[in-house]
Chains A and B, each alone.
Chain A
Amino acid sequence: MSVLRWLDRYFEISIGVALMSSMTIILAIQVFMRYVMGASLYWSEELARYIFIWLIYLGISYSARQMTHIKVDAALGLFPLKLRPWVVFLGDMLFLGFALFIVWTSWTVVQRQMMLGQTSTAMQIPMWFVYSAPLVGFALTAIRQVQTLIWRARNPDKYISEEV
């Protein structure tokens, strides 16, 4: 498998699986330490929360690749058969537009956080790092949407969401 092909299939999801697993394990350790060892951890909750935020945005991109985002597919029935591929195409364009909007606006949010130099309470993680999650996630989503649009243009007859 070529590198590009691997990245296409597994990039977001391999990181996502690692994040999901570590989030779960960190919280299980937190319970164990507090209840069994009687020593509460000060960092675990915060770390798990930030892992969760990053997990969300990689998950959004992965779901865009898999085309598994929840849609009101029944609404397509309102359009004549010939128009439907165009409606789906337009819907994907709007999704792409939203992704780019979030990339643009969260960049300003991240810049502001960098300027303020805020850090998290427990672990002193710079907050701009946390706020970068939607930036990176939606940038990846935008790439996935472009892939989807190309795929749609090539397969105009398969307008109902399917796995590629």
Chain B
Amino acid sequence: MVAAVLFLSLAVFLILNVPVGIAIGLASVAAIVTGGGLSMGYVAQTLVSSTDSFPIMAIPLFILAGDLMGAGGVSRRILDVANVFFGRITGGLAIVTVVVCMFFAAVSGSGPATVAAVGSMVVPTMLRAGYSKSFTLALIATAGSIGVIIPPSIPMVIFGVSTGQSISDLFLAGFGPGLLIGLGLITYCYLHSKKMGWAGDGVPYSNSRAFSAIWDAKWALLNPFIILGGIYSGVFTPTEAAAVAAVYAFVCGVFIHRELSPKDLFKVVAGSCSTTGTTMVILGCASAFARILTVEQVPGMVADALVQLSSNPILILLIINILLMLVGCVMDTTPAILVLAPILFPVATAVGVDPIHFGIIMVVNLAIGFITPPLGINLFVATRVGNASLSTVVRGIVPFVLVMVAMLLMITYIPGISLGLKQLITN
């Protein structure tokens, strides 16, 4: 009964154009009022207690680091490097876009931030080179979703906190899937560009050109090694890594590249504050929502029903994938993880899926949710970057979603893609 109030009122509030976090909060209040088991102050209290967490603090810091990096001239330098190596092939600029997104993913933990930082730079160039607008914007929206798969990753932080798994292990397991998706997108870009006749820039490769591009980008290229090297050598925690990354990006942008004026800086940090507010209100309210679900024993009931349906892990994973993809279409990543991880996690582990592997499956699914309408945040960012209508982007997105789904199935059924790296290191 309370669960029905929770989900129905949530749907109504979302349809009535209430912001996502607030709608989740209102639904929780409605459930408390009808259920009567919890005190009225419960939501207010959870807003503080759920964010009073050191691991969660990695989120605003990775947002800040990504924003500073995007504004501080890092993306352009990486683009120049990628261009030297891939620019001359058929579909060169499209491939360069994917490579730059993969690199940016290794310093940023957010999908939309990756789209914004890389997109604002490559989209005008691609359009000038003759790529179609719907292909270009769909590509940048999709490639940006790698931002949450290659570590660091904000959704992985949320998954780790809500299920008690190691965030470092999750990060480590993200490399393989991130590379795989990157390769998949590059392959598609090459084949499609060949069909459409989108040639490369024709500039021949030379060692001196490569060297000067790499030298100009040396500080930017060093960044992921500092962040990830620091985490895995045990020098700092993921949260501290995020703070160090932000300071590093600040120093690069202001003192080394000299592309950030004090006025820009205020704007960038203000933007990060706004993103932090909009993300964290969702996190706080969704935590209250998820705890009410737990009090009502919904996770247990769903788990029982699913396990009774089948105990075949292949089938269960397929069902979970379909469910997550449908949810990803209408729900943002953070609430989806907070609400669904406690429900689906016991099911997956019951049929023998590795907890870390399951985290990766969930994150990749919700990364697809970034590019599926109606609520695909990367699509929105891409429309803003490209100054286009949503339908222009959506027209080009279908083949990309299919590529992503193919990669998702491989990641789901070949655990080695996610877990291999950890095994390799521990041996």
Contact = CB atoms under 8 A, between A and B. Distances in A.
Contact of B374 (A28, A75, A88): A75
B165 interface: no
Contact of A98 (B25, B48, B235): B25
B350 interface: no
B44 interface: yes
A62 B44 contact: no
Contacts of B270: 13, 16-17, 62
B276 interface: yes
Contacts of A119: none
A74 B243 contact: no
Interface in B45-67: 45, 47-48, 51-54, 57, 60-61, 64
- Central interface residue in A21, A55, A60, A75, by most chain B CB within 10 Å: A60
Contacts of B64: 20, 24
A67 B105 CA distance: 28
A98 to B, nearest CB: 5
Given A70-B377, A90-B16, A131-B48, A27 B41 contact: no
Given A23-B60, A68-B274, A75-B14, A56 B281 contact: yes
A53 interface: yes
**Residue from A71, A106, A130 with most neighbouring chain B CB atoms (10 Å):** A71
Given A48-B57, A56-B284, A59-B278, A74 B26 contact: no
Given A30-B240, A35-B236, A109-B44, A49 B17 contact: no
B246 interface: yes
A160 to B, nearest CB: 10
B19 A70 contact: yes
Contacts of B247: 24-25, 28
B40 A52 contact: no
Nearest to A30: B240
B269 A17 contact: yes
Interface in B294-352: 330, 332
Contact of A20 (B16, B44, B273): B273
A101 to B, nearest CB: 6
A56 B240 contact: no
Given A71-B17, A98-B26, A52 B373 contact: no
Contact of B277 (A61, A76, A87, A95): A61
A102 B274 contact: no
Interface residues of B, number: 56
Contacts of A134: 44, 47-48
A30 B25 CA distance: 35
Contacts of B269: 17, 20-21
Contacts of B235: 31, 35
Interface string A51-87: 0110111111111001011111111101000000001
A123 to B, nearest CB: 14
A60 B278 contact: yes
B97 interface: no
B280 A31 contact: no
Contacts of B45: 106, 109, 131
Interface in A8-54: 13, 16-17, 19-21, 23-25, 27-28, 30-31, 35, 45, 48-50, 52-53
A97 B18 CA distance: 11
Classify chain A: how many residues form its interface, as a range. 35 or more
Contact of B16 (A52, A55, A74, A91): A91
Interface of B: 13-22, 25-26, 29, 40-41, 43-45, 47-48, 51-54, 57, 60-61, 64, 235-236, 239-240, 243-244, 246-247, 266, 269-270, 272-278, 280-282, 284, 330, 332, 373-375, 377
25 contacts: A13-B273, A13-B274, A16-B270, A24-B246, A24-B247, A30-B240, A50-B52, A52-B51, A55-B60, A56-B51, A60-B278, A62-B277, A63-B277, A70-B278, A70-B332, A70-B377, A71-B17, A71-B20, A72-B15, A72-B330, A74-B374, A76-B17, A78-B15, A98-B18, A130-B48
Interface of A: 13, 16-17, 19-21, 23-25, 27-28, 30-31, 35, 45, 48-50, 52-53, 55-63, 66, 68-76, 78, 87-88, 90-92, 94-95, 97-98, 101-102, 105-106, 108-109, 112, 130-131, 133-135
Given A17-B269, A59-B273, A106-B45, 20 more contacts: A16-B270, A20-B269, A24-B243, A28-B240, A35-B236, A49-B57, A56-B284, A57-B277, A62-B274, A63-B278, A71-B17, A72-B14, A72-B375, A87-B17, A92-B17, A95-B18, A101-B29, A108-B40, A130-B52, A131-B45
Q: What are the 3 closest A-B residue pairs judged by CB atoms, nearest first?
A: A59-B277, A74-B374, A91-B17
